[in-house]
Amino acid sequence: MTSSPTEPHGKPEQNTDPSADQVAAAYAQRSGMRRTADGHLDVMHAIGGWRGLTEALLPGALFLTVLIITNQLGTALVGALAVAVVFTVVRLVQRQTLVQAVSGLIGVGICALFANTTGEARDYYTPGFFINAAYGLVLLISMAVRWPILGVVFGYIRGEGTGWRADPLRMKAYRLATGFVVAMFAARLAVQLPLYFADDVAALGIARLVMGVPLYAMVLWLAWMVSRPQASAVR
């Protein structure tokens, strides 16, 4: 007797597709977020520690500083790229993953390319507008389909898995938490786009620095606090 097409060698075919829980866990693991020993969100770890904060802020800060002092776009771009290259080389020497090592350099390189192509210093900040709009849209979609991304990440590191999706209060809490991050992206666009169109590069650069990683860290902490199980239970 021959085996059926679905049972080669007499064994039933196994489904190897990852489950929703497995996909969510894998995404959460890659997010870089974790809890501290006392059970709070480790915000500094989420932004890469002091090193990650420095790597995120210094190229943009140097670009703006050199631009204001010299009024030379080329010099400012070279300075920002040089700092990014140094950070990348250090990570490569320390044998960190290639993606982690070159991601910051690629980001600065894209910003520099935009500004160099147009000859306008303000276009150093143009890629950020598209990034903020795209991230905000993705988060909104995740809320609409009842998979709010902050719920996926926070649920995993809190040990809830994806079971919170069956609890209306937890779903509401995680949608609110994700909404905080959406509001952050919207605020960035609302504040920075008018400065871009006004060609106020100094104010735009300062706003980009202040509303970058520091604001993101604060919003993450607020999102964590409002989505605590005891916080959602009193709503």
pLDDT tens-digit readout, 45-65: 999 889 889 999 999 999 999
What's residue 27's pLDDT? 77
What's residue 7's pLDDT? 45
- As given in the structure block, the two tokens for residue 199 are 């060609």
Half-sphere exposure of 23 (CA within 13 A, CB side): 7
What's residue 70's pLDDT? 97
Ramachandran sector of residue 105 (left: φ over 0; alpha: ψ -120 to 50; beta: rest): alpha
Among 87, 68, 84, 85, CA closest to 76: 68
Residue with tokens 């250090």: 90
- As given in the structure block, the two tokens for residue 216 are 């993101």
What's residue 17's pLDDT? 53
Q: How many CB atoms lie within 10 A of CB 232?
A: 20
Quick: pLDDT tens for 178-204.
999 999 999 999 999 999 999 999 999
* Rounded distance between C-alpha atoms, residue 141 and residue 129, angstroms: 18
What's residue 4's pLDDT? 47
Cβ–Cβ < 8 Å for 177, 223:
yes
Percent of the chain with pLDDT over 90: 70
20 — phi, psi (to 5°)?
A: -60, -40
Tell the burial category of 178 from Cβ atoms under 10 Å away from its Cβ (0-12, 13-18, 19+).
Answer: buried
What's residue 67's pLDDT? 97
pTM (two decimals): 0.86
* Rounded distance between C-alpha atoms, residue 218 and residue 186, angstroms: 15
In which residue ranges of the chain is pLDDT below 50?
Answer: 1-7, 13, 15-16
